Amino acid sequence: MKLVIAVIQDQDSNRLSNALMKQNFRATKLASTGGFLRSGNTTFLIGVDDQDVSKVLDIIRDNCRAREQMVTPVSPLGGNADTYIPYPVEVEVGGATVFVLPIEEYHHF
């Protein structure tokens, strides 16, 4: 058994959730925040058999794409203003950060 932990952008959450359900994979969704933009993310916890890991990774890859987005950086309150950029910049957002961990037991009651 493996535990797949996928941290994705909120925009991709419903699409990924629906794709996983269509393929009969169960997932627990957790709201999370982090990264450079301190924006909303969703973390999926997915318990799968070893032989299904590549299938789950394919589903994540197909439904969580990186894209360019214009953002205005947050002002550095009390921080170093030397590196602050006061105008919008284009950054890459989205995609997925995925961890695959071995688990000893998995129970569903």
Which tens digit of pLDDT belongs to each residue from 34-80? 765 566 789 999 999 999 999 999 999 999 977 776 666 665 555 55
Q: Residue 58 carries which side chain, given as an amino acid letter?
A: D
Residues 83, 81: Cα–Cα separation, whole Å: 5
Q: Are 58 and 14 in contact (CB under 8 A)?
A: no
Residues 46, 48: Cα–Cα separation, whole Å: 6
* Single pTM value for the model: 0.75
Q: What's the burial of 31, exposed, middle or buried (CB within 10 Å: 0-12/13-18/19+)?
A: exposed
Residues 64, 10: Cα–Cα separation, whole Å: 10
pLDDT(18) > 60: yes
- Domains (ranges, CATH) in the chain? 2-75+83-102 (3.30.70.120)
Strand partners, 100: 4
